Structure 1
Amino acid sequence: MQTKQINQLDKFITPFKHKLSSSLTKKEITVLQINLGKRCNLACTHCHVEASPRRTEELSPEICQQLIKVIHRFPEIKIVDLTGGAPEMNYGFKPLVEAAKLTGKQVIVRSNLTIYFEDQFGDLPEYCAKHQVRIVASLPCYLADNVDKMRGTGVFDSSVKALQWLNQLGYGKEPNLILDLVYNPQLPTGEKFSLAPEQTNLERDYKMFLQEHFNIVFNNLFTITNLPVGRTQMYLERRKLYASYLQFLESNFNHSTVEYLMCRDELSIDYLGNVYDCDFNQMMNLPAKTHNGEPLTVTKLLEAGSLDLINEIQTAAYCYGCTAGCGSSCGGALL
């Protein structure tokens, strides 16, 4: 059904691969991004994972052990990036953190911050500080009304308390305790679309506002475009804005971003052990393919003893979201 839908878009926009001068290929794989599952204490309106408290899908002990083997076996992996749902709620979070740190890799956890105030998760800030986990925290605006509109009533206040807690532990202050924030644009209400503001200037505004009003400090702000995937796609479709939003993204295509796309040097793994070129392909069930055209899995990586099994990165219409303007990635703007 998704493939049919993607093909139907060809009448509205240029197929993404036709924008490229050559096939999109992998560089050396240095990032292993793992989606531990769809369990989350929030149900944000823009969530491309469609996570919520009602979701139960999560990593199994078997796949967790396979991923630990991958982390140990491949020294070229420099970063283990844990996401969800709320990654901290799903099985395997702490074993994967500890395996990655044991092998000298940087660990990133993509946190919604409010998880710290849920039962059984109050130890997370101290745990992350102990293991020097880099925290990339969602704060789609520095104004309370906008955050609560996207993420739920009271989320802004909880996020502020969590950030102050992290600051008290040294996050945002000590060199080994990195705290980054993520900005997402508000979802459009009509066809007056816009890309994220310039990242450097917006970071300055965030830092000034949060310091002045809450005495909060952090390291970097990442601006991330809302890709038309998951709940963002459903939102756009309900308002009959889906095709026009894709046309807007295509009209802002910037070929200079292609060299730096996050899919070039990462593998995205789901809770079932399937491998994708990026998190968005994962959510749209567009698996990475081996040299033989077969869907790639963690089992096949281990059997081959290699991460270099992908001939060509799988692309789709929503790839225009990562290549519009200054580009977009899990690490923010590309240019």
Structure 2
Amino acid sequence: MVLSSNSLQATASANAFETALGSPLTKQNIQVLQINLGRRCNLSCTHCHVEAGPHRTEELTPAVLAQLLEILDRFPQIRTVDLTGGAPEMNYGFRPLVERAHALGKEIIVRSNLTIFFEPGFADLPAYFTQHQVRVVASLPCYLPDNVDSMRGQGVYDSSIRAIQQLNALGYGTDPNLILDLVYNPPIPKDENFRLTPSQAALEGDYKAYLAENFDIAFNQLLTITNIPIGRTRFQLEHRGLLAPYTEFLAAHHNPANVSGLMCRNELSIDYEGRVYDCDFNQMAGVSACTPDGEPITLERLLAAESLDVIATVQTRPYCYGCTAGSGSSCGGALTN
């Protein structure tokens, strides 16, 4: 088969990260099920790679919810159920998944924007999280108000502080069973003065000191996450002519020590239509996880195969350098010191 120049370029681009590794990135035993429940959200953050917002209507269907519940029941190897969105709390299927995962003794992560607590119909969320011992991973891209509001919307910082105080009052941040982690995202670059994500440990100290002194707030960990050039981040980089140089910057700072801890290796990322991806970023880029013979994977295929471990290698793209640059980046924060 003779490939066109466009096809050759696309193939080279897709394989750039794999070439840097020197071999395909292999999948490991699946332990994490990350589920994107939909694009509906009460915020429209400038850095959102999901491009979520109040006017998005895509969300989980009853049929996909039934498949997910069956997956949880049939595969005890799943240790963590990681719920994201959009605002996951706003999308169909959120509470049934929390309750089934809790009944099965799984770790439950909810990636919350915190401001959802103050939307009509969601005021009970702090108590609900406490009841089900949900680990709350909450976006607070800076400990200073101006930076947060510029990225996430006017008033978001104040709402986030009030929400954290509500969680603290219920034991989050101090009770070992009630984990509250905050997430730092750097601003999207406006010029070629690119910087790696700061030291997670040092920045966590700054967050904890400032928030304790000014708001009497406690939390467990700070997770630093690199801006991956996907979604709105990609759009803004392209608009400024920075997409290629930013991707090259990430590639130039590739750290092989981060590869062993990449989140894509032991997780499945599921979209609201039941399609399976290696990670959330591949999901947003439309890069499906595949069987060794190249067939895209769905929940239906996993159930038919009676196995979650049907993927041999991770689908990689140049934006994968965002997860290996510097100290690394994953849904659990930095990968190395």
Fold match, TM over 0.5?
A: yes
Q: Contact 2:255/2:327 (CA < 8 Å) preserved in 1?
A: yes
> Is the counterpart of residue 81 in structure 1 residue 108 in structure 2?
no
Partner of 1:214: 215
* Segments of 4+ moved more than 3 angstroms: 4-11
Partner of 2:271: 270
Distance 2:204 2:163 in 1: 19
User: Aligned in 2, Cα 1:309/1:193: closer, same or farther, shift over 3 Å?
Assistant: same
> Is the counterpart of residue 103 in structure 1 residue 141 in structure 2?
no
Alignment-mate amino acid for residue 25 of structure 1: T
Give the Å deviation of 1:195: 1.2
Distance 2:309 2:176 in 1: 33
Q: Contact 2:15/2:316 (CA < 8 Å) preserved in 1?
A: no
Distance 1:303 1:311 in 2: 18
What is the number of equivalent residue pairs in this alignment? Answer: 331
Partner of 2:297: 296
Partner of 1:313: 314
Alignment-mate amino acid for residue 219 of structure 2: F
Distance 1:9 1:222 in 2: 33
User: Aligned in 2, Cα 1:78/1:154: closer, same or farther, shift over 3 Å?
Assistant: same
Deviations 1:93-136 (A, max 9, x none): 00000111111100000000000000011111100000000000
Q: Contact 1:38/1:85 (CA < 8 Å) preserved in 2?
A: yes
Partner of 2:3: none
Deviations 1:18-52 (A, max 9, x none): 01122111111110000000000000000000000
Deviations 1:35-94 (A, max 9, x none): 000000000000000000000000001100100010111111000000000000000000
For the residue of structure 1 that corresponds to 2:49, the secondary structure is coil
Deviations 1:247-269 (A, max 9, x none): 10001001111111000100000
User: Aligned in 2, Cα 1:300/1:10: closer, same or farther, shift over 3 Å?
Assistant: closer
Q: Contact 1:6/1:317 (CA < 8 Å) preserved in 2?
A: no
Partner of 1:226: 227
Q: Report matched runs for 1:151-162 at 5 Å.
A: 151-162=152-163
Q: Report matched runs for 1:59-208 at 5 Å.
A: 59-208=60-209
Give the Å deviation of 1:189: 1.1
Partner of 1:322: 323
Partner of 1:55: 56
For the residue of structure 2 that corresponds to 1:263, the secondary structure is helix
Give the Å deviation of 1:291: 2.5
Alignment-mate amino acid for residue 311 of structure 1: A
Give the Å deviation of 1:8: 5.9
Partner of 1:19: 20
Give the Å deviation of 1:293: 1.1
TM-score when normalising by structure 1: 0.97
Q: Contact 1:9/1:243 (CA < 8 Å) preserved in 2?
A: no
Distance 2:236 2:67 in 1: 36
Deviations 1:181-234 (A, max 9, x none): 000001111000011100001001100000000000000000000000000000
Deviations 1:242-298 (A, max 9, x none): 000001000100111111100010000000000000000000000000122110000
Q: Contact 1:60/1:91 (CA < 8 Å) preserved in 2?
A: yes
* RMSD of aligned Cα (Å): 1.5
Q: Contact 2:36/2:269 (CA < 8 Å) preserved in 1?
A: yes
Give the Å deviation of 1:9: 10
For the residue of structure 2 that corresponds to 1:15, the secondary structure is helix
Partner of 1:33: 34
Alignment-mate amino acid for residue 182 of structure 2: L
Q: Contact 2:15/2:317 (CA < 8 Å) preserved in 1?
A: no
Distance 1:168 1:159 in 2: 14
Distance 2:33 2:296 in 1: 17
Distance 1:5 1:38 in 2: 31
Give the Å deviation of 1:5: 10
Distance 2:160 2:8 in 1: 36
Task: Give the gaps of 5 or more residues in structure 2.
Answer: 1-5
Distance 1:146 1:295 in 2: 40
User: Aligned in 2, Cα 1:291/1:126: closer, same or farther, shift over 3 Å?
Assistant: same
Q: Contact 1:28/1:265 (CA < 8 Å) preserved in 2?
A: yes
User: Aligned in 2, Cα 1:6/1:263: closer, same or farther, shift over 3 Å?
Assistant: farther
Distance 1:142 1:104 in 2: 33
Partner of 1:279: 280
For the residue of structure 2 that corresponds to 1:250, the secondary structure is helix
Distance 2:198 2:15 in 1: 25
Alignment-mate amino acid for residue 275 of structure 1: V
Q: Contact 2:39/2:87 (CA < 8 Å) preserved in 1?
A: yes
For the residue of structure 2 that corresponds to 1:82, the secondary structure is strand
Give the Å deviation of 1:7: 4.0
